[in-house]
Amino acid sequence: MQIKRRLSIPLAFSCALAVPVSPNGSHPSVPATTDRGWSELTSSMDKMHDAMSSVTPTGDTDADFVRLMLPHHQAAVNMAKTELLLGKSREMQRLAQEIIADQQSEIALMELWLKKHGQGRRKAGESSGPSVKEN
């Protein structure tokens, strides 16, 4: 029994890694959709991934953490706004409102921390200068 457990976990993990993924990161078996909500949600995630990928490490874990969390939080705000516009569940819309309030407050706190510690929101290749503005 012990051997079966030891083999089943690595086997399941390796099978999960073997699932084909298209270059844009989606599973090929998932059809393209014209659903506006889905398009806006995934667009927010794509922008987040691009913004996070553009962060250049500074060697300061605190600053790097904040600079990576900012686009993550902004994506949460953008996705919550999509829920408010297009969602139907009152429960999810209440959650979306809470997410917007909480995440915007945390974004402001992190931006203040970066400013206080002389760290800008820089993209890859930028050494210093103006902050990167998220939308």
| Residue 54's CATH number | 1.20.1260.10
22 inside domain: no
pLDDT over 90 at 36, yes or no? yes
What range does the domain containing 55 cover?
A: 30-116
On whether the CB atoms of residues 20 and 58 are closer than 8 A, the answer is no
Q: What is the largest CA-CA distance in the chain?
A: 60
61 inside domain: yes
Give the pLDDT confidence score for residue 25 in this predicted structure: 52
Among the listed ranges 21-25, 79-83, 107-111, 117-121, which one has the minimum average pLDDT value?
A: 21-25
20 inside domain: no
Q: Which residue has the higher pLDDT, 3 or 80?
A: 80
Give the pLDDT confidence score for residue 15 in this predicted structure: 43
Percent of the chain with pLDDT over 70: 64
Number of domains in the chain: 1
72 inside domain: yes
Q: Which residue bears the tokens 């407050």?
A: 105
102 inside domain: yes
64 inside domain: yes
pLDDT over 60 at 108, yes or no? yes
55 inside domain: yes
75 inside domain: yes
